[in-house]
Structure 1
């Protein structure tokens, strides 16, 4: 569960940082007082997705390993119960 929380918070952090940079660049370039909502959000989503793919590879692999171990334990427990039922 810890790996899931760390990975999720990291993804959110990268998204927020991407949005802040994009919004800052937009304000610097346009010199405007307001930022449109849709385009910076979409651009931040794309930038953060690409950045997360490369920057969070290790965390993603650790999270996947935890999920894999949990799935293997659940499968083994299911097969054990199934074998006991068949024996009865």
Structure 2
């Protein structure tokens, strides 16, 4: 499902028109992004939790030159499915 299909699904489920659904989806996405950038978690009961984890610096290999390199520490967005969602996917 892409963004346009998700907007249509939101519109159908909520009774909002597509313009309102697009605004709601964009507001949700920007709110989650802002929270993650600020270092917060976003927990939606039954659905899941969005958070940021730090991947530690680690050794790696450049596939072109086969030289050893150090991959720097990075922050990565993470999603962990909630219990209800996990049970529905079984």
- Bucket of the pairwise TM-score, normalised by the shorter protein: 0.3 to 0.5
Structure that is richer in helix per residue: 1
TM-score (ref. length: structure 1): 0.34
Higher relative contact order (CA 8 A, sep 6+): 1
Structure number with bigger Rg: 1
Structure that is richer in strand per residue: 2
